[in-house]
Amino acid sequence: MMIATLVEWEQLGEAVLASVVAGVGVTFVFSIAIWGVARFVDLSRDERPLAAGAAALAAAFALACTAAVVVVGIIAMTSK
């Protein structure tokens, strides 16, 4: 009961939420980028240029998202 009143639950909750979103989010979008590259290689080998192009596009977009999340995350988390 006493501890409950001493902890700033709102701040702690925001830190937990930010950690989950940033940690899981970055890994997810980066996985999509790797999936895109792997699919691009396979589809190019199978001579399916349209599908390969789409996979490459997905990879590039996911990679850009990863970079954006990292940069925005650092700026947001380290500025008051």
Residue ranges in contact with other proteins by CB under 8 A: 3, 6-8, 11-12, 14-16, 18-20, 22-24, 26-28, 30-35, 37-39, 41-42, 70, 73-74, 76-80
Q: How far is the CB of 38 from other proteins (least distance, A)?
A: 4
Q: How far is the CB of 54 from other proteins (least distance, A)?
A: 16
- Please enumerate, as own/partner, the contacts of 30-35 that have beta carbons within 8 Å and a separation of 24 or more: 30/62, 30/63, 30/66, 32/58, 32/59, 32/62, 33/58, 33/59, 33/60, 33/62, 33/63, 33/66, 34/59, 35/59
Q: How far is the CB of 50 from other proteins (least distance, A)?
A: 20
